Chain A
């Protein structure tokens, strides 16, 4: 999934300035690890392709920015005007009809399966008996990584206090969170099985080495 389509979906849901879209993207799809620059470049490409447009006060919600009044004593909110060369962050974006059609086409289209290419799979496939102790450590370390990711999700879930799952907005958040958790469930299950096997193999290998040395 590209940042472009994710940002387009969020703009359709509610027009907004880039910083707000960035925050929403982080909340909604934390596992995808999008960074701020992804949102800005996505908006540039969407605007270039005619899928979103920057709006000013006459066409949509008036975007505001903090400005310092001439006395310099206090800040007040003033409406922004779209001016060439203005900072992208001060602009408000909304979807065009072409953007909505493009998003609908993507949403209703079939989804591809991600390729499975994991470095640890290769290490397990290619390891030698003398590598087993280090490989066991690596597997254990990966279990900790999985648990740390789950911990992050738990903390963010408890901090955000999302809407109750019997409301649509709450339910979709739970489904997206569960998708990521299912991945960590599956990976942890696999890692535990691998660790158990490697530990058993290592014990057998050590036993055989001792017997051979003693003979």
Chain B
């Protein structure tokens, strides 16, 4: 089966005055249905830019982004909006702009398409799926970081997306909260065949992923398979050509 999301040779630069800041160079990645891919990187390494390019919230300077085999550059604005509404979920760390009850927050984006009753039923279902039904009546400001992370995921999956983009879901979480969040994301991939692309600030958050890559100095580098390790340690520079698996 082909990849649901595919980035091929994608590059992105920003301009700071006269100087070009290259954020991503020749980045290629694929995420299939039921697959959890973790991209590790430090702050400012371009992780959020990568997710924005994957959702085509930003346009790449070079390369192509495909969703379900189709080039996203060919979509009209209306088609892209439709795709974002129906197929792509974005899990954000920031909550609602005003302090809402969590059930209202998760139901809000569903109201435009579904009736009020159905929107609230789906929101309740999403909260239950991530295991935080008991917080449905609570406000964002009263929740701890771990609960907010789970509510963010409920918000992202409420519309039953095929692709879930998750930006640093474990930032500021303690060990138990981090394990709970990553276990949930893995179960969404395994049990509901959602393709999940998540960025992580530390490798501990990537332990449940199917694939791991690091992003830094503009390059995405995939973790090699273990049999390559002894050879790598003997001749690190020769075994795999620079940026070989792009």
A residues bordering B, Cβ < 8 Å?
Answer: 134, 136-138, 140-145, 147-155, 157-158, 164-166, 171, 174-175, 177-178, 181-182, 184-185, 188-189, 192-193, 195-196, 199
Q: How would you classify the secondary structure of chain B's contact residues: helix, strand, loop or mixed? A: mixed
What residues on A are CB-neighbors of B243 within 8 Å? 140
3 closest Cβ pairs, A-B complex: A141-B236, A192-B216, A137-B237
Contact B179 A144 (CB under 8 A): no
Contact A140 B233 (CB under 8 A): no
- Smallest beta-carbon distance B106→chain A, Å: 26
Contact A157 B214 (CB under 8 A): no
Contact A196 B217 (CB under 8 A): yes
- Interface status of B40 (Cβ within 8 A of chain A): yes
- Smallest beta-carbon distance A197→chain B, Å: 9
Contact B224 A147 (CB under 8 A): yes
- Smallest beta-carbon distance A46→chain B, Å: 31
Contact of A154 among B175, B206, B213, B221 (CB under 8 A): B206
What's the Cα separation between A182 and B239 when bound, in Å? Answer: 26
Instruction: Give the A-B pair count, Cβ closer than 8 A.
Output: 114
- Smallest beta-carbon distance A2→chain B, Å: 24
Specify the chain B residue showing the minimal Cβ separation from A152: B226
- Interface status of B143 (Cβ within 8 A of chain A): no
Contact B203 A141 (CB under 8 A): no
- A188 with B237: in contact, given A158-B207, A177-B207 (CB under 8 Å)? no
- A154 with B212: in contact, given A145-B233, A165-B179 (CB under 8 Å)? yes
- A149 with B202: in contact, given A154-B212, A174-B175, A188-B214 (CB under 8 Å)? no
Contact B204 A177 (CB under 8 A): yes
- Interface status of B225 (Cβ within 8 A of chain A): yes
- Interface status of B56 (Cβ within 8 A of chain A): no
B residues bordering A, Cβ < 8 Å?
Answer: 40, 42, 45, 175-176, 179, 202-204, 206-209, 212-214, 216-218, 221-226, 228-229, 232-233, 235-240, 242-243
Contact A181 B236 (CB under 8 A): no
What residues on B are CB-neighbors of A199 within 8 Å? 217
What residues on A are CB-neighbors of B42 within 8 Å? 189, 192
What residues on B are CB-neighbors of A142 within 8 Å? 236
12 new A-B contacts at CB < 8 Å, known A144-B236, A181-B202: A136-B242, A137-B237, A141-B237, A147-B213, A151-B212, A151-B226, A153-B207, A158-B208, A165-B175, A181-B204, A185-B40, A192-B216
- Smallest beta-carbon distance B179→chain A, Å: 5
Specify the chain A residue showing the minimal Cβ separation from B240: A144
What residues on A are CB-neighbors of B207 within 8 Å? 153-154, 157-158, 177, 181
What residues on B are CB-neighbors of A143 within 8 Å? 214, 221
- A144 with B208: in contact, given A174-B175, A192-B216, A199-B217 (CB under 8 Å)? no
- Smallest beta-carbon distance A172→chain B, Å: 11
What residues on B are CB-neighbors of A145 within 8 Å? 229, 232-233, 236
Contact B217 A137 (CB under 8 A): no
Specify the chain A residue showing the minimal Cβ separation from B227: A148
What residues on A are CB-neighbors of B40 within 8 Å? 185, 188
What's the Cα separation between A201 and B123 when bound, in Å? Answer: 53
What's the Cα separation between A189 and B243 when bound, in Å? Answer: 17
- Smallest beta-carbon distance B172→chain A, Å: 16
Most A-side CB within 10 Å, residue of B42, B202, B214: B214
What's the Cα separation between A196 and B154 when bound, in Å? Answer: 38
Most A-side CB within 10 Å, residue of B229, B236, B243: B236
What's the Cα separation between A153 and B42 when bound, in Å? Answer: 20
Contact A151 B224 (CB under 8 A): yes
- A185 with B202: in contact, given A140-B242, A165-B175 (CB under 8 Å)? yes
Contact B226 A155 (CB under 8 A): yes
- Smallest beta-carbon distance B218→chain A, Å: 8
- Smallest beta-carbon distance B213→chain A, Å: 8
Q: Can you list 27 contacts pairing A with B, beta carbon distance less than 8 Å?
A: A137-B237, A137-B242, A138-B236, A140-B237, A141-B235, A141-B240, A143-B221, A144-B221, A144-B228, A145-B232, A145-B233, A145-B236, A147-B214, A147-B221, A147-B222, A148-B223, A149-B229, A151-B223, A152-B226, A154-B207, A154-B212, A155-B226, A166-B176, A188-B40, A189-B42, A192-B214, A195-B216
Contact A150 B216 (CB under 8 A): no
